[in-house]
């Protein structure tokens, strides 16, 4: 808007309004006959009032015209800059003119089509064509040229931690096939649900000792691994060491002790943006990490193969956190009842659920609760927090079940025990 228009607005704002002038014009009319001086004063005021009205109307027209000119000029400039700029200019004009004040944007879920389902999402993702293939291949060629340097770092008893956007699984497997031929290679996938440090230690101990190690504790497994000489080289590749089952402080502590075993050479990858927060200074020093950037822009197909559905993952995650929080605050008998009900469901996932008489029998056999009324009060609390739901069984009887996926339920039980111990 021009400076002339702004100055006219300021001038009009400083002058008196119509209501302020009217008393001055009609003030002396009731006195009857006016003197010559009063008549001349009245005439001057009337002329000034008439000029002010014309000036106000012309200023308003100039404001409208200048705003329209500015809008047209902005649109022409955005069109000359490109389609994206033109779209941004149109969006800015429409948002400033059409959007009423105080209207908030809807969340992303409400903007999705009503008929959107998991099958449609998978089909859409499969139809996406990869882009920039030559640039991605050039990146991989540069990383393959560093294979010999990575092997030298491993022989110096450093642990390699690969980070960067894109899947690193294929690159690390190729590195193992081409360079790590002087020892055994064990690949573990931390992104899989249910993966824990104990399972990883059992796999490492079994690969070194060639015997089953089920039932052994963390300390026993680590003792067997550290007893192996350095000449028994075993390269342990942990894809996504920041996976859901390995994010606990205790899990990382056992893995750091594993990396110090003479026969173990640790290689790991991370993808979470806050993965560096997994370790304090002492744990990171025990790992002896060397951070290597291997940004590949490759699709996370393997890492997301076992992930929860996109539209229900947030709900499942919230249910797990809510269950762990509620159960950790309950009395021990209530936690044991939930653990018993969840254990029966995990043993037979195809079963419709557990009836009240069957649950009462199990509770009494394990000396958790004695009376029927005590069990009912616990189940009522479970229902209030949506930890259990009811449905009809095949025989028409009402059965109870936990509305969680098996992997989510296992993690909820683990967090419940950790929260109760804390």
- Whether residues 261 and 160 share a domain: the answer is yes
Residue at token pair 């499969």: 126
Task: Tell me what pLDDT residue 185 has.
Answer: 94
Asked if 277 and 370 sit in the same domain, the reply is no
Written as six digits, the tokens of 258 are: 């594993």
**Nearest of 203, 198, 200, 236 to residue 217 by alpha carbon:** 198
Whether the per-residue pLDDT at 311 is higher than 70: the answer is no
SS3 12: helix
pLDDT for res 118 = 65
User: Which of the pair, 136 or 90, is modelled with greater confidence?
Assistant: 136
More confident residue, 23 or 224: 224
List the CATH number of the domain containing 285. 3.40.50.300
Whether residue 8 is predicted with pLDDT greater than 60 in this model: the reply is: no
Same-domain status, 317 and 281: no
Q: Is there a single domain that holds both residue 183 and residue 251?
A: yes
Proportion of the chain above pLDDT 70, given as a percent: 65
Residues 327 and 416 in one domain: yes
Q: Are residues 150 and 46 in the same domain?
A: no
In this prediction, residue 421 carries a pLDDT of 59
171 located within any domain: yes
Q: Tell me: pLDDT of 14 over 80.
A: no
Q: Which of 293, 326, 341 is the last residue of a domain?
A: 293
Domain shared by 336 and 400, yes or no? yes
Q: How confident is the model at residue 419 (pLDDT cuts 50, 70, 90)?
A: low
Please state, as a whole number, how many other Cβ atoms lie within 10 Å of the Cβ of residue 137.
Answer: 10
Q: Which of 293, 323, 338 is at the close of a domain?
A: 293
Mean pLDDT of the 293-313 span: 74
Range of weakest confidence among 186-190, 262-266, 321-325, 402-406: 321-325
332 and 384 part of one domain: yes
Q: Which residues of 229-240 are buried (b: 16+ CB within 10 A; e: fewer)?
A: eeeebbbbbbbb
Please report the pLDDT score of residue 308 as a whole number. Answer: 56
pLDDT value for 53: 52
Report how many domains make up the chain: 3
As a whole number, mean pLDDT of residues 169-190 equals: 93
Which string of DSSP letters, residue by residue, matches 359-422?
Answer: HHHHHHHTTS---HHHHHHHHHHHHHTTS-EEEE-TTS-EEEE--S-HHHHHHHHHHHHHHHH-
Is 399:391 a contact under the CB 8 Å cutoff? Answer: yes
Residue 178 lies in a domain: yes
Q: Tell whether 374 and 326 lie within a shared domain.
A: yes
The rounded distance, in Å, linking the Cα atoms of 279 and 49 is 78
pLDDT band at 420 (very low <50, low <70, confident <90, very high): low
pLDDT at position 109: 53
Q: Does the predicted model carry a pTM greater than 0.85?
A: no
Output the pLDDT for position 126: 76
Domain end marker among 231, 265, 293: 293
pLDDT(382) > 80: yes
pLDDT-wise least confident of 159-168, 373-382, 413-422: 413-422
Residue 63 in domain: yes
User: Does 9 have pLDDT greater than 50?
Assistant: no
pLDDT score, position 22: 44
Do 252 and 186 share a structural domain? Answer: yes
Q: How many CA atoms lie within 13 A of 124 on its CB side?
A: 6
Q: Same domain for 317 and 377?
A: yes
Residue 254 lies in a domain: yes
266: left (phi over 0), alpha (psi -120 to 50) or beta: beta
Residue 258 banded pLDDT, cuts 50, 70, 90:
very high
Domain membership of residue 108 (yes or no) is: no
Its domain, for residue 353, covers 310-421
Tell me whether residue 92 is in a domain: no
Q: Is the pLDDT of residue 380 over 70?
A: yes
- Look up the CATH number of the domain holding residue 335: 1.10.10
**Tens digit of pLDDT for each residue in 18-77?**
444 444 444 444 444 445 555 555 565 566 555 555 554 554 455 445 554 555 544 444
Query: 411 and 271 in one domain?
Result: no
Give domain status of residue 316, yes or no.
yes
pLDDT tens-digit map of 285-298: 999 999 999 999 99
Are the C-beta atoms of residues 310 and 116 closer than 8 Å to each other?
no
Residue 212 has pLDDT above 70, yes or no: yes
Q: What is the mean pLDDT of residues 363-392?
A: 85
Residue 82 in domain: no
Q: What is the mean pLDDT of residues 393-398?
A: 83
pLDDT category of residue 102 using cuts at 50, 70 and 90 = very low
The pLDDT assigned to 273 comes to: 87
């Amino acid at each position: 808007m021009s400076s002339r228009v702004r100055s006219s607005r300021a001038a009009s704002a400083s002058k008196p309004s119509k209501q302020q002038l009217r008393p001055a014009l009609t003030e002396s009319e009731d006195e009857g006959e006016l003197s010559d001086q009063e008549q001349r004063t009245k005439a001057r005021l009337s002329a000034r009032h008439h000029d002010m009205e014309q000036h106000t109307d012309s200023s308003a027209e100039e404001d409208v015209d200048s705003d329209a000119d500015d809008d047209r000029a902005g649109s022409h400039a955005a069109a000359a800059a490109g389609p994206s700029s033109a779209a941004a200019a149109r969006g800015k004009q429409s948002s400033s003119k059409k959007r009423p004040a105080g209207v908030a944007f809807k969340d992303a879920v409400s903007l999705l089509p009503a008929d959107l389902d998991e099958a449609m999402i998978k089909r859409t993702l499969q139809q996406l064509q990869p882009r920039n293939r030559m640039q991605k291949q050039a990146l991989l060629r540069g990383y393959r040229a560093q294979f010999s340097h990575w092997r030298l770092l491993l022989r110096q008893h450093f642990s390699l931690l690969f980070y960067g956007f894109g899947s690193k699984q294929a690159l690390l497997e190729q590195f193992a096939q081409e360079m790590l031929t002087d020892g055994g290679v064990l690949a573990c996938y931390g992104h899989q649900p249910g993966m824990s440090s104990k399972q990883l230690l059992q796999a490492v101990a079994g690969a070194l000792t060639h015997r089953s190690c089920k039932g052994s504790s963390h300390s026993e497994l680590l003792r067997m691994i550290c007893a192996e000489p350095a000449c028994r080289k075993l390269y342990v590749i942990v894809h996504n060491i920041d996976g859901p089952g390995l994010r606990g402080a205790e899990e990382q502590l056992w893995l750091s002790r594993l990396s110090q075993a003479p026969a173990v050479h640790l290689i790991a990858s991370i993808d979470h943006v806050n993965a560096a927060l997994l370790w304090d200074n002492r744990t990171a020093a025990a790992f002896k990490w060397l951070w290597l950037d291997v940004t590949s822009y490759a699709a996370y197909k393997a890492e997301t193969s076992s992930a929860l559905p996109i539209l229900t993952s947030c709900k499942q995650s919230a249910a797990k956190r809510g269950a762990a929080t509620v159960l950790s605050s309950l009395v021990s008998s209530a936690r044991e009842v939930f653990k018993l009900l969840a254990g029966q469901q995990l043993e037979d996932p195809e079963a419709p659920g557990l009836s009240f008489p069957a649950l009462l029998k199990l509770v009494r056999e394990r000396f958790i609760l004695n009376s029927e009324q005590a069990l009912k009060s616990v189940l009522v609390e479970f229902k209030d927090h949506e930890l259990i739901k009811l449905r009809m069984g095949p025989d028409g009887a009402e059965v109870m079940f936990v509305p969680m996926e098996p992997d989510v339920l296992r993690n909820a039980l683990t967090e419940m025990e950790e929260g109760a111990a804390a």
